[in-house]
A and B are shown apart, each in its own frame.
Chain A
């Protein structure tokens, strides 16, 4: 099984140094791309590889890049932004790639910037990732020194400057246009679309925003070709995926596996199954804003297309396991409290709806709920659905709630009838 993203990751947790990366053939691909390929060649290769966005939305990276005008004279300034604001609850995959393999990300950003003909790129980094910041800043300085960044990279005539911007904590910064506002030093509220960032993004210029894991895949695609990348996955979507599992499993962690690996295999074989004394009930496949998958459904392939018939999403691919000793109402309440707090307040359904949902869930959990409360919750899953809100925040918040109301209906009813949480004695 090939693991391009993690094959050089050191087991002791240390970062891969520049000299080791170069020794392993890393950055060689930069020579090939900058000297032998046109930006259009790069875009076509990544399009053919079917690299889908690993931040959660699953949009084709190559297609996204192709929306940037090829006319450099008409639009001389354009930007690449790496979305490293990993803040989806239950998600911890980009941290590994930044803390331990910074040059892979930098190489991906050089190639992507070249493909969209950007001469400036930013890494928008989450405030909490202090080690990532230290490692990335050092790696960028090394890359400048070695001639992989700066003016006239490797004598190719191509210039690129790469900066790290650390944020100050807000989930909305992960939303593509909210992130752009944050990077411009403003409140991270989402922008109206269209125009999409490819037309008018950072500082009003054409901009591509890609996730850390997406960009980290790019050097491997250009090195080994689109056909190779597609052959890595078990299903039609190309590549491997960094899957994670957290919760009451024996061995929580991260594993790079072929895209499309079944959820049950990840939980049983890699996370070691449930901790003794705990039973598996359900899981969120890819962070807080994805719908529940029940134990009986877990043979599903973990890729973008396969989870759709189960009315869920791959999201970030980091699984959160719900065990039998954790109250599902408390679980959902925890998620909705997070979403209510993190609402930016820009549009009414989200600003007013999410705190309402949170308060109702709290009262049910505390034994003060009524059966009519369930109708109000259900109403919100429609009212905050896509098309009713300014961005994807409230619709994402509704995903675990709408599936939870169906799958855990009996648990909700028990809280209401017994007037206390059955999990709290």
Chain B
């Protein structure tokens, strides 16, 4: 079930478009913002609210990289593996974080604290290598910086 607050937010966003169905992606983002990821139940609930088929909503949900259809940790680490970050060395950054947390790309720590994912170019190429943790951008990364960064996310 969507909460009243979620429904209100979705229908409020729908006012920006001539058809409520256009708010499909906004709805997914609103629900994910509150719950972390999109369950089958949320797909059905959003479909019902916006008069769309569940298949349509799931088609949209699975198309976009930043909509999660699997459970993710409390914090999502996105390491840029774009070309500028490759040249400037994202691989050592990735290996260091992967070893420290004991997870590879696509995995979540057993305490559900972190999920580790690659991301295509964060548009921060003059400060490569870069990564995002949740909504926060970190750049000019060095291994020394990383320990300190991860500590902020409990």
Interface residues in chain A, defined as those with a beta carbon under 8 Å from any beta carbon in chain B: 86-92, 94-95, 126-131, 163, 165-171, 182-188, 203, 244-248, 252-254, 288, 318, 320-323, 326, 330-331, 334-335, 338, 341-342, 344
Contact = CB atoms under 8 A, between A and B. Distances in A.
A320 B125 contact: yes
Contacts, number: 132
Given A92-B125, A185-B24, A203-B19, A167 B64 contact: yes
Interface of B: 16-19, 21-26, 28-29, 56, 59-60, 63-67, 81-84, 86-88, 119-128, 132, 135-137
Contacts of B63: 170, 187-188, 344
Contacts of A130: 135-137
A246 B120 contact: no
Contacts of A131: 137
Given A185-B26, A344-B63, 7 more contacts: A90-B83, A90-B84, A92-B126, A184-B22, A187-B59, A247-B84, A331-B86
Contact of B125 (A128, A248, A252, A344): A252
A168 B66 contact: yes
Contact of B126 (A87, A245, A334, A335): A245
Contact of A89 (B28, B83, B137): B83
Given A168-B29, A168-B65, A170-B64, A89 B126 contact: no
Nearest to B64: A168
Given A89-B120, A168-B29, A182-B25, A253 B126 contact: yes
Contacts of B25: 167-168, 182, 185
Given A247-B84, A288-B83, A331-B87, A338 B120 contact: yes
B72 to A, nearest CB: 14
Contact of B83 (A86, A94, A129, A320): A320
A248 B83 CA distance: 12
Nearest to A338: B120
Contacts of A166: 29
A129 B123 contact: yes
